[in-house]
Chain A
């Protein structure tokens, strides 16, 4: 069965550089979530999209932006990278629209971002 695809799997950047992370949800899943997991930490919700519109927002820095495209894939853009941005970034998808109660979210393998 198709799963959530994330690219790249690993990314190394310098401070103040920019990074773009991509997420391809499971086919027919039109809700996408982004989470950030720092070393030894639990995943923290960043932002979510449904039908190309932002549906919820968490503790996402202003330096980060995201969008969902017409094919439902999503991109997380990170600018002015800081050392503290080093983390695993997960994308998850769901077939349930927002506002109908949460259901199982299917997670991708994550992108490990290292900022030097």
Chain B
């Protein structure tokens, strides 16, 4: 990937469990976003966290950002089978660029 790596690459859990995905990036950023992609479908925006924020919540999603370590994590609590998808982090790479630079993605499988 141009910008970062995500781990794990794949994650399998049971419904009701929490899922944690991590993202590391290389350059300074203005913000970091998480997207979800169902198999072969479009990307759906989940949450955006700015470089001056450390944590953000949206429903069952919790995102943290550590700019000193150039890393972020996405936590999905009380997972559901419908959460099965690939999850990508994306950054702007700083310098006020506007293109998104995606991480390698985590494939999450939630078993009912």
Contact = CB atoms under 8 A, between A and B. Distances in A.
Given A43-B100, A98-B98, A104 B33 contact: yes
A74 interface: no
A99 B88 CA distance: 23
Contacts of A110: 40-42
B41 A58 contact: no
Interface residues of B, number: 25
A44 to B, nearest CB: 7
Interface stretch (B14-22, B57-65, B69-77, B101-109): B101-109
Given A101-B30, A101-B31, A104-B48, A45 B43 contact: no
Given A102-B30, A103-B48, A112-B40, A56 B97 contact: yes
Contacts of A98: 96, 98
Contacts, number: 70
B41 A33 contact: no
Interface string A41-78: 01111001000000110100000000000000000000
Contact of A42 (B30, B41, B104): B104
A24 interface: no
B32 to A, nearest CB: 10
13 contacts: A42-B88, A44-B2, A44-B102, A45-B99, A48-B98, A48-B99, A90-B43, A96-B98, A98-B96, A98-B98, A101-B96, A106-B45, A107-B43
